């Protein structure tokens, strides 16, 4: 998980607490103006707190009696406060800090120092928004993957039927997700013509990993080059641009969709190679999806890029009749 994310989330918590405190001050000033006696009560309660610690410090042997009377005084004041609030139609918790998470009081950590569930949720949400995958794609996942739409008839001169082939790809993909934390250097290359489920399966993998709290970035090769060019050639680098650029290298899984649709030139070759290579060196995983076949890839990219891709990736070919024309599916695969 990227350190910047965590720092940003902690800053958000800090801001939230600041806002909660400012809002409380504002509410107090309003209420005190309306019912001045409430300010007197609050001041008294605050002073009693100081008294209490003084009593315990100066009379450590025999403070119980005094503490009891002090406590009685506080209770009385609190009671009076509650009555005044009720009489003036002010909610009882109006003069308390309003944290949005009562488990951690917007600190992000619970009492035992563990990440609060709101913190974990934020990490997942952040990962989702960074991934470029919208929440609507949540319904493209391993559970909704319908293997039955793949033909079980022999296809051209392939050994496996499209369905058998897809079962194999599915099991490799699920293994990829399940063993994602293992340092096994596994990368995937999905290749084959459009309409055979590559995008759907990319989404399944992305979703499963996002739900595990991983940072997944899903970009087309075209968009990646745009980010790289902008980063290289712009003098003023906005924080967003910096983050998009760094994420290409730092995210847990980079999905490069549609490799081969971008214009390839020397710049492209070097940059695509640079990202893929950098990630391999850092033990970060990459999933590439392309409509090119292996010969096209070798022709389109320099030897360095193609040998990297072929050497360090599990190559999975999608083949079969185009699913988008099948009557039993209207989904855009
Ligand atoms: Zn919380």
- Per-residue model confidence (pLDDT) at position 88: 93
pLDDT band with cut points at 50, 70 and 90 for residue 52: confident
With a CB cutoff of 8 Å and minimum separation 6, the contacts of 256 are 219, 220, 221, 224, 272, 275, 286, 287, 288, 289
Answer yes or no: is pLDDT of 91 > 70: yes
Answer yes or no: is pLDDT of 5 > 80: no
Buried b vs exposed e over 134-159: b needs ≥16 C-beta within 10 Å?
eeebeebbeeebeeebbeeeebeeee
- Per-residue model confidence (pLDDT) at position 260: 83
Q: Which of the residue ranges 115-124, 149-158, 163-172, 202-211 would you say has the lowest mean pLDDT?
A: 115-124
Total length of the chain: 333
Ramachandran assignment for 213, one of left (phi > 0), alpha (psi -120 to 50 degrees), beta (any other): left
- Per-residue model confidence (pLDDT) at position 2: 60
- Per-residue model confidence (pLDDT) at position 136: 52
Compute, in angstroms, the gap from residue 92 CA to the centroid of ligand 1: 23
3-state secondary structure of 88: coil
β-bridge partners, 216: 253
Q: How many alpha carbons fall within 13 Å on the CB side of residue 333?
A: 25
pLDDT band with cut points at 50, 70 and 90 for residue 271: confident
Give the orientation angle of helix 266-281 with respect to helix 303-312, to 10 degrees.
30
Nearest to 300 by CA among 266, 273, 260, 262: 260
Compute, in angstroms, the gap from residue 62 CA to the centroid of ligand 1: 40
Compute, in angstroms, the gap from residue 13 CA to the centroid of ligand 1: 9
- The enclosing H or E element of 29 equals helix 3-34
- Per-residue model confidence (pLDDT) at position 332: 44
Region 28-48 average pLDDT: 93
- Per-residue model confidence (pLDDT) at position 275: 92
CATH number of 132-325: 3.40.50.300
pLDDT band with cut points at 50, 70 and 90 for residue 180: very high
Structure-model confidence comparison of residues 97 and 2, the more confident one:
97
Structure-model confidence comparison of residues 322 and 33, the more confident one:
33
Compute, in angstroms, the gap from residue 117 CA to the centroid of ligand 1: 6
Alpha carbon dihedral 21, 27, 28, 33, in 10-degree steps, equals 160
Compute, in angstroms, the gap from residue 15 CA to the centroid of ligand 1: 14
**Averaged confidence pLDDT in the chain:** 86
Region 9-27 average pLDDT: 93
- Per-residue model confidence (pLDDT) at position 333: 44
Region 208-228 average pLDDT: 86
Region 89-105 average pLDDT: 88
- Per-residue model confidence (pLDDT) at position 134: 62
Compute, in angstroms, the gap from residue 19 CA to the centroid of ligand 1: 16
- Per-residue model confidence (pLDDT) at position 244: 82
- Per-residue model confidence (pLDDT) at position 137: 62
CB 100 within 8 A of CB 86: no
Answer yes or no: is pLDDT of 307 > 90: no
pLDDT band with cut points at 50, 70 and 90 for residue 256: very high
Region 19-46 average pLDDT: 94
Compute, in angstroms, the gap from residue 7 CA to the centroid of ligand 1: 16
- Per-residue model confidence (pLDDT) at position 329: 43
CB 28 within 8 A of CB 95: yes
Q: How many alpha carbons fall within 13 Å on the CB side of residue 189?
A: 22
- Per-residue model confidence (pLDDT) at position 172: 97
Answer yes or no: is pLDDT of 327 > 70: no
> Where do the domains of the chain lie?
3-87, 132-325
Distances (CA, A) of 285 to 138, 152, 165, 176, 314: 22, 32, 23, 10, 12
The Cα–Cα gap between 202 and 131 comes to: 12
- Residue pLDDT, tens place only, 119-154: 877 877 777 777 777 655 667 788 888 899 999 999
Region 276-292 average pLDDT: 93
Region 317-324 average pLDDT: 86
Compute, in angstroms, the gap from residue 242 CA to the centroid of ligand 1: 29
Dihedral sign from CA coordinates of 231, 266, 131, 209: negative
Region 283-296 average pLDDT: 92
Compute, in angstroms, the gap from residue 56 CA to the centroid of ligand 1: 34
Compute, in angstroms, the gap from residue 114 CA to the centroid of ligand 1: 10
Look up tokens 């070097």; give the residue.
270
- Per-residue model confidence (pLDDT) at position 128: 74
The Cα–Cα gap between 211 and 194 comes to: 27
């Amino acid at each position: 998980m990227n350190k910047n994310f965590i720092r940003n989330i902690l800053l958000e918590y800090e801001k939230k607490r600041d806002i909660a405190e400012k809002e409380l001050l504002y509410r107090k000033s309003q209420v005190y103006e309306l019912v001045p006696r409430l300010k007197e009560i609050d001041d008294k309660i605050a002073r009693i707190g100081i008294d209490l610690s003084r009593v315990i410090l100066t009379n450590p042997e025999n403070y119980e009696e005094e503490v009891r009377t002090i406590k009685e005084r506080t209770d009385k004041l609190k009671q009076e406060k509650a009555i005044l609030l009720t009489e003036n139609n002010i909610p009882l918790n109006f003069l308390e800090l309003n944290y949005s998470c009562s488990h951690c009081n917007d600190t992000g950590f619970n009492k035992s120092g563990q990440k609060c569930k709101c913190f974990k949720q934020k990490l997942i949400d952040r990962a989702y928004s960074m991934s470029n995958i919208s929440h609507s794609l949540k319904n493209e996942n391993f559970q909704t993957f319908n293997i039955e739409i793949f033909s079980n008839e022999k296809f051209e001169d392939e050994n496996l039927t499209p369905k058998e082939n897809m079962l194999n790809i599915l099991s490799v993909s699920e293994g990829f997700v399940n063993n994602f934390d293992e340092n096994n250097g596994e990368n995937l290359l999905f290749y084959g013509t459009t309409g055979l489920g590559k995008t759907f399966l990319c989404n399944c993998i992305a979703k499963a990993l996002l739900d595990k709290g991983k940072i997944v970035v899903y970009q087309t090769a075209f968009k990646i080059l745009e980010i790289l060019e902008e980063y290289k050639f712009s003098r003023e680098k906005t924080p967003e641009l910096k983050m998009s650029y760094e994420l290409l290298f730092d995210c847990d899984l980079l999905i490069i969709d549609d490799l081969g649709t971008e214009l390839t030139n020397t710049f492209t070759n070097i940059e695509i190679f640079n990202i893929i290579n950098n990630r391999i060196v850092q033990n970060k995983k990459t999933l590439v999806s392309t409509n090119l076949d292996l010969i096209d890839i070798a022709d389109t990219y320099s030897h360095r890029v193609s040998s990297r891709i072929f050497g360090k990736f599990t190559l999975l070919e999608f083949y079969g009749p185009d699913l988008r024309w099948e009557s039993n599916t209207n989904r855009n695969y």
